[in-house]
Structure 1
Amino acid sequence: MRNPKRIVILGAGGRDFHVFNMVFKDNPDYRVVAFTSTQIPGQEYRRYPASLAGRYYPQGIPIYPQEKLKTIIRAHAVDEVVLAYSDLTFDELGRIICEALASGVSFKIVGPRETMLDSIKPVIAITAVKTGAGKSTTSRTIVRELLARGFMPAVVRHPMAYGNLEKRKVVIIRNSRDLEEYDLTLEEREEFEPYIEIGVTVLAGVDYRLVLLEAERIGDIIV
Protein backbone atom coordinates (compact mmCIF):
# COMPACT_ATOMS: atom_id res chain seq x y z
CA MET A 1 0.00 0.00 0.00
CA ARG A 2 1.46 3.35 -1.03
CA ASN A 3 1.95 6.16 1.44
CA PRO A 4 -0.65 8.94 1.41
CA LYS A 5 0.27 12.04 -0.57
CA ARG A 6 1.22 14.88 1.79
CA ILE A 7 -0.64 18.12 1.10
CA VAL A 8 -0.50 21.73 2.23
CA ILE A 9 -3.56 23.84 1.44
CA LEU A 10 -3.08 27.57 0.85
CA GLY A 11 -6.15 29.49 1.90
CA ALA A 12 -7.77 32.47 3.52
CA GLY A 13 -10.18 30.87 5.97
CA GLY A 14 -12.91 29.99 3.49
CA ARG A 15 -12.56 27.92 0.35
CA ASP A 16 -9.56 26.14 1.86
CA PHE A 17 -11.71 24.46 4.50
CA HIS A 18 -14.39 23.64 1.92
CA VAL A 19 -11.83 22.04 -0.41
CA PHE A 20 -10.52 20.03 2.53
CA ASN A 21 -14.01 18.83 3.44
CA MET A 22 -14.93 17.91 -0.12
CA VAL A 23 -11.70 16.28 -1.32
CA PHE A 24 -9.27 15.43 1.47
CA LYS A 25 -11.17 14.77 4.69
CA ASP A 26 -11.35 11.03 5.48
CA ASN A 27 -9.56 10.32 2.19
CA PRO A 28 -6.92 7.62 2.78
CA ASP A 29 -4.91 8.73 -0.25
CA TYR A 30 -4.01 12.10 1.29
CA ARG A 31 -2.76 13.69 4.48
CA VAL A 32 -3.13 17.44 4.84
CA VAL A 33 -0.13 18.42 6.97
CA ALA A 34 -1.01 22.11 7.21
CA PHE A 35 -3.14 24.99 6.06
CA THR A 36 -1.64 28.38 5.39
CA SER A 37 -3.54 31.61 5.85
CA THR A 38 -3.45 35.04 4.26
CA GLN A 39 -5.77 38.05 3.76
CA ILE A 40 -7.74 37.56 7.01
CA PRO A 41 -5.70 38.75 10.03
CA GLY A 42 -5.25 36.70 13.18
CA GLN A 43 -5.82 33.26 11.67
CA GLU A 44 -2.24 32.01 11.86
CA TYR A 45 -0.80 29.72 14.52
CA ARG A 46 -4.02 28.05 15.51
CA ARG A 47 -5.45 24.69 14.48
CA TYR A 48 -8.28 23.44 12.36
CA PRO A 49 -10.10 21.49 15.08
CA ALA A 50 -9.88 17.71 15.33
CA SER A 51 -13.67 17.55 15.67
CA LEU A 52 -13.99 19.00 12.16
CA ALA A 53 -10.93 17.42 10.57
CA GLY A 54 -11.97 13.77 10.58
CA ARG A 55 -10.49 10.45 11.61
CA TYR A 56 -6.97 10.97 10.27
CA TYR A 57 -6.35 14.14 12.27
CA PRO A 58 -6.78 13.48 16.01
CA GLN A 59 -4.68 16.57 16.80
CA GLY A 60 -6.35 18.77 14.22
CA ILE A 61 -4.39 20.51 11.45
CA PRO A 62 -2.03 23.44 12.08
CA ILE A 63 -2.53 26.78 10.33
CA TYR A 64 0.57 28.82 9.48
CA PRO A 65 1.22 32.11 7.69
CA GLN A 66 1.63 31.63 3.95
CA GLU A 67 5.09 33.22 4.24
CA LYS A 68 6.20 29.98 5.91
CA LEU A 69 5.38 27.84 2.85
CA LYS A 70 8.96 26.85 2.00
CA THR A 71 9.63 25.91 5.62
CA ILE A 72 6.43 23.85 5.78
CA ILE A 73 7.32 22.00 2.58
CA ARG A 74 10.73 21.03 3.96
CA ALA A 75 9.62 20.25 7.51
CA HIS A 76 6.65 18.09 6.51
CA ALA A 77 8.00 16.44 3.34
CA VAL A 78 5.11 17.91 1.36
CA ASP A 79 4.28 16.37 -2.02
CA GLU A 80 1.75 18.87 -3.33
CA VAL A 81 0.62 22.46 -2.74
CA VAL A 82 -3.11 23.11 -3.25
CA LEU A 83 -4.26 26.69 -3.79
CA ALA A 84 -7.73 27.37 -2.37
CA TYR A 85 -8.37 31.11 -2.29
CA SER A 86 -8.96 33.94 -4.74
CA ASP A 87 -8.36 37.69 -4.97
CA LEU A 88 -4.98 37.07 -6.60
CA THR A 89 -3.44 38.76 -9.60
CA PHE A 90 -1.81 36.56 -12.23
CA ASP A 91 1.57 37.84 -11.04
CA GLU A 92 0.80 36.78 -7.47
CA LEU A 93 -0.46 33.41 -8.65
CA GLY A 94 2.68 32.93 -10.72
CA ARG A 95 4.91 33.64 -7.75
CA ILE A 96 3.08 31.05 -5.64
CA ILE A 97 3.38 28.44 -8.39
CA CYS A 98 7.08 29.18 -8.80
CA GLU A 99 7.66 28.94 -5.06
CA ALA A 100 6.05 25.50 -4.98
CA LEU A 101 7.88 24.20 -8.04
CA ALA A 102 11.21 25.61 -6.87
CA SER A 103 10.71 23.63 -3.67
CA GLY A 104 10.35 20.45 -5.73
CA VAL A 105 6.64 19.81 -5.21
CA SER A 106 3.57 19.77 -7.43
CA PHE A 107 0.99 22.56 -7.56
CA LYS A 108 -2.75 22.14 -7.96
CA ILE A 109 -6.04 24.04 -7.98
CA VAL A 110 -9.01 21.77 -7.27
CA GLY A 111 -11.73 22.35 -9.85
CA PRO A 112 -15.48 23.00 -9.52
CA ARG A 113 -16.57 19.46 -10.34
CA GLU A 114 -14.82 18.16 -7.23
CA THR A 115 -15.99 20.91 -4.91
CA MET A 116 -19.45 22.11 -5.93
CA LEU A 117 -22.50 20.91 -4.02
CA ASP A 118 -25.79 19.91 -5.65
CA SER A 119 -28.98 21.42 -4.24
CA ILE A 120 -32.58 20.29 -4.38
CA LYS A 121 -33.65 23.95 -4.39
CA PRO A 122 -33.17 26.64 -7.06
CA VAL A 123 -29.97 28.60 -6.53
CA ILE A 124 -29.15 32.18 -7.52
CA ALA A 125 -25.39 32.66 -7.27
CA ILE A 126 -23.88 36.14 -6.99
CA THR A 127 -20.16 36.06 -7.69
CA ALA A 128 -17.38 38.49 -8.57
CA VAL A 129 -13.68 38.41 -9.28
CA LYS A 130 -12.67 40.91 -6.60
CA THR A 131 -13.67 41.96 -3.11
CA GLY A 132 -15.73 45.15 -3.15
CA ALA A 133 -17.32 44.55 -6.55
CA GLY A 134 -20.86 44.83 -5.13
CA LYS A 135 -21.94 41.26 -4.35
CA SER A 136 -23.65 42.21 -1.09
CA THR A 137 -25.66 45.06 -2.61
CA THR A 138 -26.71 42.88 -5.53
CA SER A 139 -27.66 40.02 -3.21
CA ARG A 140 -29.87 42.24 -1.06
CA THR A 141 -31.62 43.62 -4.14
CA ILE A 142 -32.36 40.11 -5.40
CA VAL A 143 -33.60 39.00 -1.98
CA ARG A 144 -36.01 41.93 -1.76
CA GLU A 145 -37.32 41.13 -5.23
CA LEU A 146 -37.86 37.48 -4.30
CA LEU A 147 -39.76 38.51 -1.17
CA ALA A 148 -41.94 40.83 -3.24
CA ARG A 149 -42.78 37.89 -5.50
CA GLY A 150 -43.84 35.70 -2.60
CA PHE A 151 -40.75 33.53 -2.21
CA MET A 152 -38.80 32.94 1.00
CA PRO A 153 -35.09 33.00 0.17
CA ALA A 154 -32.35 31.60 2.37
CA VAL A 155 -29.11 33.54 2.06
CA VAL A 156 -25.83 31.61 2.18
CA ARG A 157 -22.75 33.70 2.82
CA HIS A 158 -19.22 32.70 1.99
CA PRO A 159 -17.26 31.61 5.07
CA MET A 160 -15.28 33.94 7.29
CA ALA A 161 -12.87 32.06 9.54
CA TYR A 162 -13.11 34.25 12.61
CA GLY A 163 -13.72 32.99 16.12
CA ASN A 164 -14.34 29.45 17.29
CA LEU A 165 -14.42 27.18 14.24
CA GLU A 166 -16.10 24.33 16.13
CA LYS A 167 -18.92 26.62 17.19
CA ARG A 168 -19.18 27.92 13.64
CA LYS A 169 -19.56 24.57 11.91
CA VAL A 170 -23.01 25.79 10.84
CA VAL A 171 -24.04 29.38 11.53
CA ILE A 172 -27.73 30.27 11.27
CA ILE A 173 -28.65 33.91 11.85
CA ARG A 174 -32.37 34.59 12.24
CA ASN A 175 -32.41 37.50 14.69
CA SER A 176 -30.25 39.82 16.79
CA ARG A 177 -29.87 37.20 19.54
CA ASP A 178 -28.08 34.94 17.08
CA LEU A 179 -25.63 37.74 16.33
CA GLU A 180 -24.60 37.70 19.99
CA GLU A 181 -24.50 33.91 20.26
CA TYR A 182 -21.88 33.54 17.54
CA ASP A 183 -19.79 36.52 18.73
CA LEU A 184 -19.66 37.96 15.23
CA THR A 185 -17.22 40.58 14.06
CA LEU A 186 -18.31 44.03 12.93
CA GLU A 187 -17.68 43.02 9.33
CA GLU A 188 -19.97 40.01 9.67
CA ARG A 189 -22.68 41.99 11.45
CA GLU A 190 -22.72 44.54 8.65
CA GLU A 191 -23.44 41.71 6.22
CA PHE A 192 -26.04 39.88 8.30
CA GLU A 193 -28.09 42.68 9.87
CA PRO A 194 -29.82 43.95 6.68
CA TYR A 195 -31.26 40.48 6.12
CA ILE A 196 -32.58 39.85 9.61
CA GLU A 197 -34.21 43.30 9.52
CA ILE A 198 -36.41 42.07 6.65
CA GLY A 199 -37.02 38.62 8.15
CA VAL A 200 -34.60 36.60 6.02
CA THR A 201 -32.34 33.92 7.50
CA VAL A 202 -28.63 34.04 6.69
CA LEU A 203 -26.37 30.99 6.88
CA ALA A 204 -22.62 30.52 6.85
CA GLY A 205 -20.14 28.21 8.52
CA VAL A 206 -17.29 25.78 7.97
CA ASP A 207 -19.05 22.64 6.73
CA TYR A 208 -21.05 23.73 3.69
CA ARG A 209 -22.65 20.34 3.14
CA LEU A 210 -24.45 20.90 6.43
CA VAL A 211 -24.98 24.60 5.71
CA LEU A 212 -26.69 23.69 2.43
CA LEU A 213 -28.96 21.14 4.10
CA GLU A 214 -30.14 23.79 6.56
CA ALA A 215 -30.61 26.36 3.78
CA GLU A 216 -32.73 23.90 1.81
CA ARG A 217 -34.88 23.30 4.86
CA ILE A 218 -35.41 27.03 5.46
CA GLY A 219 -35.78 28.60 2.02
CA ASP A 220 -37.67 28.20 -1.24
CA ILE A 221 -34.71 29.61 -3.14
CA ILE A 222 -31.06 29.83 -2.07
CA VAL A 223 -29.20 33.07 -2.73
Structure 2
Amino acid sequence: SMLGARKPVVSVSAVRTGSGKSQTTRAVCRVLQKAGLRLVVVRHPMPYGDLVAQEAQRFATVDDLSAQRCTIEEREEFEPHLTAGTVVFAGVDYEMILRRAEEEADIIVWDGGNNDFPFFRSDCEIVVVDPHRPGHETTYHPGETNLRRAGVLVINKIDTAAPESVAALRRSIRAVNPKALVIDGASPIYVDDYAAIAGKRVLVVEDGPTLTHGDMAYGAGIVAAQRFGAAEIVDPRPYAVGTIAEAYRKYPQVGALLPAMGYSDQQRLELETTIRNTPCDLVLIATPIDLRRVISLDIPALRVRYELQEIGAPTLEDALAGVIEKARAQTAITA
Protein backbone atom coordinates (compact mmCIF):
# COMPACT_ATOMS: atom_id res chain seq x y z
CA SER A 1 0.00 0.00 0.00
CA MET A 2 1.04 3.61 -0.54
CA LEU A 3 0.12 6.92 1.03
CA GLY A 4 -1.79 9.38 -1.12
CA ALA A 5 -0.38 12.91 -1.25
CA ARG A 6 -2.20 16.21 -1.70
CA LYS A 7 0.75 17.51 -3.72
CA PRO A 8 2.28 15.93 -6.84
CA VAL A 9 5.00 13.37 -6.16
CA VAL A 10 8.02 12.35 -8.24
CA SER A 11 9.74 9.18 -7.03
CA VAL A 12 13.25 8.01 -7.84
CA SER A 13 14.18 4.40 -7.11
CA ALA A 14 16.63 1.83 -8.49
CA VAL A 15 16.94 -1.86 -9.20
CA ARG A 16 20.18 -2.28 -7.20
CA THR A 17 22.23 -0.28 -4.72
CA GLY A 18 24.85 1.75 -6.57
CA SER A 19 22.91 2.17 -9.82
CA GLY A 20 23.08 5.96 -9.65
CA LYS A 21 19.80 6.83 -7.96
CA SER A 22 21.30 9.66 -5.91
CA GLN A 23 22.73 11.62 -8.84
CA THR A 24 19.47 11.00 -10.73
CA THR A 25 17.48 12.41 -7.80
CA ARG A 26 19.70 15.49 -7.76
CA ALA A 27 19.18 15.94 -11.50
CA VAL A 28 15.40 15.66 -11.02
CA CYS A 29 15.56 18.33 -8.32
CA ARG A 30 17.47 20.66 -10.64
CA VAL A 31 14.79 20.31 -13.32
CA LEU A 32 12.01 21.06 -10.82
CA GLN A 33 13.89 24.03 -9.36
CA LYS A 34 14.48 25.38 -12.86
CA ALA A 35 10.71 25.16 -13.38
CA GLY A 36 10.25 27.51 -10.42
CA LEU A 37 8.62 24.97 -8.12
CA ARG A 38 9.10 24.78 -4.36
CA LEU A 39 10.22 21.24 -3.62
CA VAL A 40 11.25 19.09 -0.71
CA VAL A 41 12.92 15.68 -0.72
CA VAL A 42 11.55 12.85 1.40
CA ARG A 43 14.13 10.15 1.94
CA HIS A 44 13.42 6.44 2.42
CA PRO A 45 13.95 5.50 6.12
CA MET A 46 17.42 4.84 7.49
CA PRO A 47 16.63 3.44 10.98
CA TYR A 48 20.09 3.42 12.53
CA GLY A 49 19.50 5.48 15.68
CA ASP A 50 16.84 6.40 18.23
CA LEU A 51 13.61 5.65 16.35
CA VAL A 52 11.48 7.63 18.80
CA ALA A 53 13.62 10.74 18.30
CA GLN A 54 13.60 10.12 14.53
CA GLU A 55 9.81 9.98 14.22
CA ALA A 56 9.67 12.91 11.77
CA GLN A 57 12.93 14.68 10.96
CA ARG A 58 13.50 17.85 8.95
CA PHE A 59 16.93 18.89 7.69
CA ALA A 60 17.50 22.35 6.20
CA THR A 61 21.27 22.83 6.63
CA VAL A 62 24.36 20.67 6.91
CA ASP A 63 24.60 21.67 10.59
CA ASP A 64 21.29 19.88 11.18
CA LEU A 65 23.04 16.59 10.38
CA SER A 66 25.37 16.95 13.36
CA ALA A 67 22.61 18.28 15.60
CA GLN A 68 20.54 15.15 14.89
CA ARG A 69 23.56 12.82 15.18
CA CYS A 70 23.35 11.41 11.66
CA THR A 71 25.48 8.44 10.66
CA ILE A 72 27.83 8.58 7.68
CA GLU A 73 25.26 6.59 5.70
CA GLU A 74 22.54 9.15 6.46
CA ARG A 75 24.86 12.03 5.65
CA GLU A 76 25.69 10.47 2.29
CA GLU A 77 22.02 10.66 1.32
CA PHE A 78 21.07 13.99 2.91
CA GLU A 79 24.10 16.25 2.51
CA PRO A 80 24.15 16.62 -1.31
CA HIS A 81 20.53 17.84 -1.22
CA LEU A 82 21.23 20.27 1.61
CA THR A 83 24.26 21.79 -0.11
CA ALA A 84 22.02 22.36 -3.15
CA GLY A 85 19.53 24.22 -0.94
CA THR A 86 16.86 21.51 -0.80
CA VAL A 87 15.08 20.65 2.45
CA VAL A 88 15.06 16.93 3.34
CA PHE A 89 12.50 15.04 5.43
CA ALA A 90 13.08 11.55 6.82
CA GLY A 91 12.24 9.44 9.83
CA VAL A 92 9.79 6.72 10.86
CA ASP A 93 6.19 7.97 10.68
CA TYR A 94 5.78 8.64 6.97
CA GLU A 95 2.19 9.84 7.12
CA MET A 96 3.29 12.55 9.56
CA ILE A 97 6.31 13.30 7.38
CA LEU A 98 4.15 13.54 4.25
CA ARG A 99 1.70 15.98 5.85
CA ARG A 100 4.55 18.20 7.02
CA ALA A 101 6.24 18.09 3.62
CA GLU A 102 2.99 19.07 1.90
CA GLU A 103 2.85 22.25 3.97
CA GLU A 104 6.00 23.73 2.44
CA ALA A 105 6.22 22.30 -1.08
CA ASP A 106 4.56 22.54 -4.48
CA ILE A 107 5.98 19.13 -5.34
CA ILE A 108 7.55 16.29 -3.36
CA VAL A 109 10.51 14.17 -4.50
CA TRP A 110 10.67 10.68 -3.01
CA ASP A 111 14.35 9.65 -2.74
CA GLY A 112 14.29 5.86 -2.57
CA GLY A 113 16.62 3.53 -0.73
CA ASN A 114 17.48 -0.15 -0.41
CA ASN A 115 15.91 -0.58 -3.88
CA ASP A 116 12.54 -0.36 -2.17
CA PHE A 117 9.43 0.93 -3.91
CA PRO A 118 8.01 4.34 -2.91
CA PHE A 119 5.88 4.81 0.21
CA PHE A 120 3.92 7.59 -1.54
CA ARG A 121 1.70 7.19 -4.61
CA SER A 122 3.75 8.77 -7.37
CA ASP A 123 2.70 10.90 -10.35
CA CYS A 124 6.00 10.14 -12.08
CA GLU A 125 7.87 6.98 -11.08
CA ILE A 126 11.51 7.04 -12.21
CA VAL A 127 13.72 3.96 -11.80
CA VAL A 128 17.46 3.74 -12.47
CA VAL A 129 18.95 0.58 -14.01
CA ASP A 130 22.62 -0.38 -14.19
CA PRO A 131 24.26 -1.90 -17.30
CA HIS A 132 27.28 -2.93 -15.20
CA ARG A 133 25.04 -5.63 -13.67
CA PRO A 134 22.79 -6.84 -16.52
CA GLY A 135 20.28 -9.41 -15.33
CA HIS A 136 20.15 -8.05 -11.79
CA GLU A 137 17.13 -5.93 -12.71
CA THR A 138 14.97 -9.08 -12.86
CA THR A 139 16.63 -11.26 -10.21
CA TYR A 140 16.57 -9.07 -7.08
CA HIS A 141 13.61 -8.02 -4.94
CA PRO A 142 12.25 -5.41 -4.62
CA GLY A 143 14.29 -4.02 -7.51
CA GLU A 144 12.35 -6.07 -10.06
CA THR A 145 9.11 -4.58 -8.71
CA ASN A 146 10.52 -1.13 -9.40
CA LEU A 147 11.45 -2.14 -12.95
CA ARG A 148 7.95 -3.37 -13.67
CA ARG A 149 6.22 -0.35 -12.08
CA ALA A 150 8.36 2.38 -13.64
CA GLY A 151 6.94 4.97 -15.97
CA VAL A 152 10.48 6.21 -16.68
CA LEU A 153 13.65 4.10 -16.79
CA VAL A 154 17.10 5.69 -16.73
CA ILE A 155 19.88 3.50 -18.14
CA ASN A 156 22.83 5.01 -16.28
CA LYS A 157 26.61 4.62 -16.74
CA ILE A 158 26.40 3.99 -20.48
CA ASP A 159 29.76 5.74 -20.79
CA THR A 160 31.60 3.04 -18.80
CA ALA A 161 29.55 -0.12 -19.49
CA ALA A 162 30.28 -2.71 -22.17
CA PRO A 163 28.08 -2.18 -25.27
CA GLU A 164 26.84 -5.77 -25.08
CA SER A 165 25.74 -5.19 -21.47
CA VAL A 166 23.79 -2.09 -22.47
CA ALA A 167 22.16 -4.04 -25.30
CA ALA A 168 21.22 -6.88 -22.92
CA LEU A 169 19.64 -4.39 -20.53
CA ARG A 170 17.61 -2.82 -23.34
CA ARG A 171 16.29 -6.27 -24.30
CA SER A 172 15.33 -6.92 -20.69
CA ILE A 173 13.47 -3.60 -20.47
CA ARG A 174 11.56 -4.31 -23.70
CA ALA A 175 10.54 -7.73 -22.39
CA VAL A 176 9.47 -6.61 -18.90
CA ASN A 177 8.26 -3.01 -19.25
CA PRO A 178 7.96 -2.04 -22.92
CA LYS A 179 5.74 1.00 -22.19
CA ALA A 180 8.31 2.81 -20.03
CA LEU A 181 10.00 5.95 -21.33
CA VAL A 182 13.73 5.13 -21.53
CA ILE A 183 16.37 7.80 -20.89
CA ASP A 184 20.05 7.14 -21.64
CA GLY A 185 22.51 8.52 -19.13
CA ALA A 186 26.21 8.73 -18.40
CA SER A 187 27.91 9.27 -15.05
CA PRO A 188 31.06 11.29 -15.74
CA ILE A 189 33.39 11.66 -12.77
CA TYR A 190 34.51 14.97 -11.31
CA VAL A 191 37.71 15.36 -9.27
CA ASP A 192 38.75 18.44 -7.30
CA ASP A 193 42.33 18.38 -8.71
CA TYR A 194 42.81 15.41 -11.02
CA ALA A 195 46.46 16.28 -11.82
CA ALA A 196 47.39 15.61 -8.18
CA ILE A 197 46.62 11.89 -8.62
CA ALA A 198 49.41 11.17 -11.13
CA GLY A 199 52.25 9.11 -9.68
CA LYS A 200 50.70 8.84 -6.21
CA ARG A 201 50.03 5.80 -4.04
CA VAL A 202 46.33 6.25 -3.41
CA LEU A 203 43.82 4.84 -0.96
CA VAL A 204 40.37 4.68 -2.53
CA VAL A 205 37.38 5.15 -0.20
CA GLU A 206 34.09 4.22 -1.86
CA ASP A 207 30.43 4.32 -0.83
CA GLY A 208 29.99 1.51 1.68
CA PRO A 209 26.57 0.05 0.75
CA THR A 210 27.44 0.06 -2.97
CA LEU A 211 30.42 -2.22 -2.30
CA THR A 212 28.92 -4.41 0.41
CA HIS A 213 25.22 -4.82 -0.41
CA GLY A 214 25.34 -3.80 -4.06
CA ASP A 215 27.98 -6.33 -5.19
CA MET A 216 29.86 -3.64 -7.11
CA ALA A 217 33.59 -4.28 -7.45
CA TYR A 218 34.51 -0.63 -7.93
CA GLY A 219 33.16 2.90 -8.14
CA ALA A 220 34.18 6.43 -9.06
CA GLY A 221 37.39 6.34 -7.01
CA ILE A 222 38.90 3.43 -8.90
CA VAL A 223 37.92 4.98 -12.23
CA ALA A 224 39.63 8.24 -11.23
CA ALA A 225 42.77 6.51 -9.94
CA GLN A 226 43.20 4.55 -13.16
CA ARG A 227 42.23 7.36 -15.51
CA PHE A 228 44.50 9.97 -13.97
CA GLY A 229 47.63 7.89 -13.51
CA ALA A 230 47.89 6.77 -9.90
CA ALA A 231 51.10 4.81 -9.35
CA GLU A 232 49.42 2.31 -7.04
CA ILE A 233 46.06 1.59 -5.44
CA VAL A 234 47.04 0.71 -1.88
CA ASP A 235 45.26 -2.27 -0.34
CA PRO A 236 43.87 -1.21 3.07
CA ARG A 237 42.88 -4.69 4.22
CA PRO A 238 46.08 -5.43 6.21
CA TYR A 239 45.58 -2.17 8.13
CA ALA A 240 41.85 -2.43 8.85
CA VAL A 241 40.61 -2.54 12.44
CA GLY A 242 37.43 -3.54 14.28
CA THR A 243 34.21 -3.70 12.29
CA ILE A 244 35.99 -2.49 9.14
CA ALA A 245 38.15 -5.63 9.23
CA GLU A 246 34.99 -7.67 9.88
CA ALA A 247 33.37 -6.11 6.79
CA TYR A 248 36.22 -7.38 4.61
CA ARG A 249 35.70 -10.90 5.95
CA LYS A 250 31.94 -10.70 5.39
CA TYR A 251 32.16 -9.07 1.94
CA PRO A 252 35.36 -10.41 0.30
CA GLN A 253 34.33 -9.00 -3.08
CA VAL A 254 35.18 -5.49 -1.80
CA GLY A 255 38.86 -6.18 -2.45
CA ALA A 256 41.45 -3.41 -2.24
CA LEU A 257 38.94 -0.61 -1.64
CA LEU A 258 37.84 0.90 1.66
CA PRO A 259 34.05 0.96 2.19
CA ALA A 260 32.95 4.13 3.99
CA MET A 261 31.04 2.66 6.91
CA GLY A 262 29.95 4.71 9.90
CA TYR A 263 26.78 3.37 11.46
CA SER A 264 28.04 4.35 14.94
CA ASP A 265 30.61 6.62 16.56
CA GLN A 266 32.81 3.58 17.19
CA GLN A 267 32.68 2.47 13.57
CA ARG A 268 33.44 6.00 12.42
CA LEU A 269 36.56 5.96 14.63
CA GLU A 270 37.56 2.58 13.19
CA LEU A 271 37.20 3.97 9.66
CA GLU A 272 39.42 6.92 10.59
CA THR A 273 42.00 4.62 12.19
CA THR A 274 42.05 2.34 9.14
CA ILE A 275 42.72 5.33 6.87
CA ARG A 276 45.48 6.63 9.15
CA ASN A 277 47.09 3.17 9.30
CA THR A 278 47.22 2.72 5.52
CA PRO A 279 50.54 3.85 3.95
CA CYS A 280 49.53 6.10 1.06
CA ASP A 281 50.27 9.52 -0.43
CA LEU A 282 46.69 10.51 -1.16
CA VAL A 283 43.14 9.52 -0.19
CA LEU A 284 40.49 9.55 -2.90
CA ILE A 285 37.12 10.15 -1.23
CA ALA A 286 34.57 8.72 -3.66
CA THR A 287 31.59 8.99 -1.32
CA PRO A 288 28.52 11.25 -1.66
CA ILE A 289 29.78 13.38 1.25
CA ASP A 290 33.13 14.90 2.08
CA LEU A 291 34.35 12.51 4.78
CA ARG A 292 36.60 15.25 6.12
CA ARG A 293 33.48 16.73 7.71
CA VAL A 294 33.08 13.73 10.01
CA ILE A 295 36.54 12.20 10.45
CA SER A 296 39.98 13.71 10.96
CA LEU A 297 42.58 13.01 8.27
CA ASP A 298 46.29 13.85 8.37
CA ILE A 299 46.81 12.69 4.77
CA PRO A 300 46.06 14.81 1.65
CA ALA A 301 42.66 13.94 0.20
CA LEU A 302 40.63 14.67 -2.93
CA ARG A 303 36.92 14.23 -3.54
CA VAL A 304 35.65 12.22 -6.49
CA ARG A 305 31.98 12.29 -7.43
CA TYR A 306 29.50 11.35 -10.14
CA GLU A 307 26.81 13.51 -11.73
CA LEU A 308 24.15 12.31 -14.15
CA GLN A 309 24.53 13.47 -17.74
CA GLU A 310 21.64 12.68 -20.07
CA ILE A 311 22.50 11.46 -23.57
CA GLY A 312 20.28 12.66 -26.39
CA ALA A 313 16.50 12.50 -26.02
CA PRO A 314 14.21 11.93 -24.24
CA THR A 315 15.46 13.79 -21.17
CA LEU A 316 14.35 14.12 -17.57
CA GLU A 317 12.84 17.46 -18.51
CA ASP A 318 10.67 15.65 -21.07
CA ALA A 319 9.72 12.98 -18.53
CA LEU A 320 8.79 15.55 -15.88
CA ALA A 321 6.81 17.92 -18.12
CA GLY A 322 3.43 16.47 -17.14
CA VAL A 323 3.98 16.52 -13.38
CA ILE A 324 5.45 20.04 -13.59
CA GLU A 325 2.30 21.21 -15.38
CA LYS A 326 0.15 19.52 -12.73
CA ALA A 327 2.08 21.17 -9.88
CA ARG A 328 1.86 24.59 -11.51
CA ALA A 329 -1.89 24.23 -12.05
CA GLN A 330 -2.45 23.12 -8.47
CA THR A 331 -0.32 25.96 -7.15
CA ALA A 332 -2.29 28.48 -9.23
CA ILE A 333 -5.59 27.17 -7.83
CA THR A 334 -4.46 27.42 -4.21
CA ALA A 335 -2.70 30.80 -4.59
Same fold per TM (> 0.5)?
Answer: no
Give the TM-score of the pair, scaled to structure 2.
0.33
Q: Which structure has the bigger radius of gyration?
A: 2
